[in-house]
Structure 1
């Protein structure tokens, strides 16, 4: 399988994942449940390491910080020792992380507000062809409209938890090119009009094949104007073909993975 690395969006990173977990669990950011968040973060980290993101090192560092904070909160100690330690630290062990999250959230919200204004301006005053940048855009920085990237990673996590992934002494790799999965999945979605995310992984037990299928789904969403929707919060994700027929380029019929 070719070396295909995923570049997350501009605001993506460990803080972005933490905010996603906060929103998903409807948690009060000022009263962050470290144990719950740490466990979920580590689950996501396992999948991110599988995908081999370029920025996975940042997530490992954050995971270590979360585990350290968690250990400081759960270590048994006498009441007077706890008060002495609290006085020495001057604040809750979570305080610095919470402040980072609040600052990042303000930065992220401001960026989204600016992007919305830019989109509204573009809808009212579309850019002329001659005004468009000549250089190719970095498609890796595109964002999903209906479904967040973390929703897709979360869906992959559920797939991995339900599957018995093949583990062998001699690791087997699926060397199927990503383009083949793109063609197969794209043709299936165009034919059916709507396909569930989980069905693409039916019969796939090798880690490299699962990763290849997942990256093909990202390819379709980012490069080929396919759409993803999630009718129920944290439920099944569905892929749909492009709305514009011009983007529905012909693909040789092939079986879905």
Structure 2
């Protein structure tokens, strides 16, 4: 059957009580005055009993041990036995005192209940990636990286080809073109001038050229806007 332990007042056992009495009455733990210690110890036991507290058997056993040491000291020619018993008791008290001190320091170091941990230790870092992934995950990761890089890159040159590389057609060049056609044929269908237009810049320049020629009187446009004719009576300034 497991032995029951009792805590009386603030003392956890007879050795704890003895250390308290030695400290309280400033007794020498290395050369204990057994008579004074026994008197104080029996007084503490009596006080416990007056408070209707059940005194554990180890407290009574320590009282009997102190009585025995005192009895031996009173007998003649038993000085060596007396010193041996006192040294044994002092050794137990010193050992118990050291254990209490260590327990107190551990309690102060405790930060999480009953778990005691050491300080973090530096660990070597292994930079080798050892995890295994299915090919599908690797393909998705690769595509995601390409997508992010693509968003950070500037637009390609082809995105500006319609603006930067657009051919610029001057109005004067289209005026010469219209006049050459009219010198070959004095009259042309208006829409025939736009049939071979390659881009919008050329069409706009051709239309502006017709307006400029009509404004200067070098060509005439029919009332239905279908025919354009060279004005042979126009005189150059």
TM-score, structure 1 normalization: 0.38
Q: With a CA cutoff of 8 Å and minimum separation of 6, indicate the structure with the bigger relative contact order.
A: 1
